[in-house]
């Protein structure tokens, strides 16, 4: 592997500015790495070589003229394949969109291109971002770079695996119930979900619109902070986008956290935790004490209901959002329908995979006449209670910590036949989406088999700078982030 690919985005940016390597050389090195690895990894659905090299050339032209470079210019990035990039396939890893070529750019894609970030390809995911293991892709499974027999986490498994294996230096994922933080934990990298509305969702294929949020993957907290700065900001094309100025998130990374109150979530530290994850959490608590933080135990009494709430609200919104894929306007249409109703039913039966069908049926049931009040309305009321728990908690502490997942990456196929066991993988991450608060997973050690463990850090709405500060101080107190998958 070209050594430059192991470097952080900050180090690659410096090498570009110092003319130690050109942007075209760096981008080509990423494509060589993908060619070498991706057959066994399965991280990419498609590559966008032409677009990436075109962007890299613009970076080199700017360097040649000694012009100021935008943030992260020239650093190779993987884009989750549910975000639109003009002229490239945007499939959401579903047969129904297998040949859909995007006619427009997502807002985040536009921002990346304006910042001259080369997009090397579209990363594999669980179909329509529904899953926790990246085994639900219609095309191929993604494998964990630390152990190819294990899952990378989902739904943004391709994005996480590409960064973890140095195929890309950065990546974007989407997080509806933990789909950035869980793969980051399983793949030993940094993954961050911003405050709901901080990043535009325009051009992201919707799963559950009140929960979806786009966020960064990187190998260091600093790189994640810079990538969030690039993609954040108000967007008139997204009615949920917040009209607030974008912060320079990396500015406060090194602020002293002496006296910071760190809340440990009681409900996520008890049952179901593997011994290795429990030990890593105790080490993390000790690290924060050494950094001068004050540790406080915090109870979130309604947290236990969050999985039930999520799988009513998310499936209801998915049932509504995916109604548009009916063979009329987008993607696949069954070739042998005799009438309109048959065209609808056969198209959807042939085009959607089993997990997507399961969630559509759950959501349609929850929204159906006679059940709406019992399920959907009740879940919305319970969501307000979960949110209120966080409001109360953040009156007492500055940040909250927990394991990102009760366990490390499991074997491919281990939970495929038990949807409930798979859903419980998200027990620690879902509540942040329900409450719309920012959350992050950072590397926090390894289990006895050498698989990565993630520490989840949560902050109040719009306190991303505080989150990055607390995460960076923890990251630099250890060397976990320096260890790369041996693939």
Whether 299 sits among the annotated catalytic residues: the reply is no
Neighbouring C-alpha atoms within 13 Å toward the C-beta of 160: 40
Helix, strand, coil fractions of the chain, as percent rounded to 5: 45, 15, 40
Whether 137 sits among the annotated catalytic residues: the reply is no
Backbone angles phi, psi at 119, to 5 degrees: -90, 110
Catalytic member of 7, 80, 122, 141: 80
Encode 440-451: b = buried (16+ Cβ within 10 Å), e = exposed. Answer: bbbbbbbbeeeb
State whether residue 103 is helix, strand or coil: coil
β-pair type (77-80, 119-123): parallel
Cβ atoms of 231 and 111 closer than 8 Å: yes
Which residue, among 334, 279, 267, 350, has the nearest Cα to 303 in the 3D structure?
Answer: 267
Torsion of CA 242, 248, 250, 255, to 10 degrees: -100
Q: Which residues pair with 301 in a beta bridge?
A: none
The span from the CA of 86 to the CA of 101, in Å, is 8
Backbone angles phi, psi at 47, to 5 degrees: -110, 150
The span from the CA of 49 to the CA of 59, in Å, is 15
The span from the CA of 192 to the CA of 171, in Å, is 11
Taken in order 392, 398, 403, 405, the sign of the CA dihedral is: positive
**Where in 63-211 does DSSP place strands (E)?**
77-80, 119-123, 170-175, 190-193
CB atoms within 10 A of CB 148: 14
Q: Cα–Cα distances in Å, from 72 out to 20, 180, 226, 307, 342?
A: 16, 20, 7, 37, 49
Whether 329 sits among the annotated catalytic residues: the reply is no
CB atoms within 10 A of CB 18: 9
Backbone angles phi, psi at 456, to 5 degrees: -95, 135
Q: Which residues pair with 44 in a beta bridge?
A: 123
Q: Which residues pair with 204 in a beta bridge?
A: 83
Catalytic member of 155, 156, 319, 431: 155
**Residue 211 tokens, joined:** 């929960």
Cβ atoms of 17 and 69 closer than 8 Å: yes
Catalytic member of 179, 306, 402, 465: 179
Catalytic residues: 80, 155, 179
């Amino acid at each position: 592997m070209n050594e430059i690919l192991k470097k952080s985005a900050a180090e690659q940016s410096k090498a570009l500015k110092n003319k130690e390597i050109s942007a075209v050389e760096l981008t080509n090195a990423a494509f060589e790495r993908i060619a070498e690895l991706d057959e066994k990894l399965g991280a990419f659905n498609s590559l966008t070589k032409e677009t990436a090299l075109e962007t890299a050339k613009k970076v080199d032209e700017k360097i040649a003229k000694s012009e100021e470079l935008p943030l992260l210019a020239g650093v190779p990035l993987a884009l989750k394949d549910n975000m639109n990039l003009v002229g490239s396939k945007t499939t959401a890893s579903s047969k129904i969109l297998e040949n859909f070529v995007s006619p427009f750019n997502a807002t985040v894609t536009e921002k990346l291109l304006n910042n001259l970030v080369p997009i090397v390809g579209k990363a594999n995911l669980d179909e329509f971002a529904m899953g926790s293991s990246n085994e639900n892709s219609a095309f191929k499974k993604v494998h964990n770079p630390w152990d190819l027999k294990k899952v990378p986490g989902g739904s943004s498994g391709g994005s996480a695996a590409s960064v973890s294996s140095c195929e890309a230096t950065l990546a974007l994922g989407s997080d509806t119930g933990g789909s950035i933080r869980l793969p980051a934990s399983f793949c030993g990298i940094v993954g961050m979900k911003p405050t709901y509305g901080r990043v535009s969702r325009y051009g992201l294929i919707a799963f559950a619109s009140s929960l979806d949020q786009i966020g960064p993957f990187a190998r260091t907290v600093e790189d994640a902070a810079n990538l969030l700065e690039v993609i954040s900001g108000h967007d008139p094309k997204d009615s949920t986008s917040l009209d607030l100025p974008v912060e320079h998130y990396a500015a406060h990374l090194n602020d002293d956290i002496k006296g910071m109150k760190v809340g440990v979530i009681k409900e996520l530290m008890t049952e179901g935790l593997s011994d290795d994850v429990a030990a890593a959490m105790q080490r993390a608590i000790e690290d924060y004490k050494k950094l001068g933080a004050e540790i406080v135990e915090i109870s979130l009494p309604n947290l236990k209901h969050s999985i039930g709430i999520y799988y009513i609200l998310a499936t209801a919104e998915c049932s509504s959002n995916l109604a548009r894929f009916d063979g009329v306007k987008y993607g696949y249409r069954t070739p042998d329908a005799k009438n309109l109703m048959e065209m609808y039913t056969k198209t959807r039966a042939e085009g959607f995979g089993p997990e997507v069908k399961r969630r559509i049926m759950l959501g349609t049931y929850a929204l159906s006449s006679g059940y709406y009040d019992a399920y959907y309305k009740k879940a919305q009321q319970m969501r307000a209670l979960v949110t209120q728990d966080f409001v109360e908690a953040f009156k007492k502490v500055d940040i909250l910590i927990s394991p990102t997942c009760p366990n490390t990456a499991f074997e491919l196929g281990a939970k495929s036949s038990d949807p409930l066991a798979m859903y419980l993988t998200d027990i620690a991450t879902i509540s942040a989406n329900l409450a719309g608060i920012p959350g992050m997973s950072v590397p926090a050690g390894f289990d006895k088999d050498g698989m990565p463990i993630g520490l989840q850090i949560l902050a109040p709405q719009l306190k991303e700078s505080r989150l990055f500060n607390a995460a960076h101080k923890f990251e630099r107190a250890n060397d976990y982030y320096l260890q790369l998958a041996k693939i």
